[in-house]
Amino acid sequence: QITKPLEEISCTAKKSGNGDLTVEFVGLGTAEVQRLANSLGLMRSNLVSLLTQKDHMLADAQFKNEEIAALYQQMKALNDDLSIAYREKKQAYGQTIKAVADAIETKDYYTRGHSERVLLYSEKIGRLLGWSEEQLKTLRYAAILHDIGKIGVPSDILNKPGRLQAEE
């Protein structure tokens, strides 16, 4: 009455332990054997439930991982676009500064090349002072544009030989 039902429970436990979670624990015989079969059946049921939850969580994690990978690719593409736009903006800014400096020098033939010399000397002094690259960049812009006010001065006054009159 005890060994045969326990042997059946043992065989079912081995099948379950080998991965066959479809088996049912049957406890025929004494109340103790029935309680053991019911406890093992409950344990199997809980294990199946936990494995199902794990599978759902794994599938959800894989889906989220794919979403993250897609978002990463989008962010990388946006970053690449921003990098290109920044380089283009920086280049356009430099060209604009150069165009303004050329406009200044075109207006005043007497000082042609002056802004570039101011830039070279200013940069050398900034380096001797130990300025950072960012500070030197600002200094370069200031040096090249230091005569920007000449753009608004009429050429006949700017290039006039001799002293200016009070009204000039």
**Spatial CA neighbour of 143 closest among 164, 113, 163, 165:** 113
**How far does CA 111 lie from the centroid of its chain?**
48
C-alpha closest to that of 150 among 138, 161, 139, 159: 159
Question: Rounded to whole angstroms, how far apart are CA atoms 152 and 66?
Answer: 60
Q: Which of 14, 64, 90, 150 is catalytic?
A: 150
Q: Give the three-class secondary structure for 108.
A: coil
Distance spanning both ends of the chain, measured CA to CA:
126
**What sign results for the dihedral spanned by CA atoms 153, 158, 164, 165?**
negative
Q: Check if 150 is active-site.
A: yes
Question: Which residues are annotated as catalytic?
Answer: 150
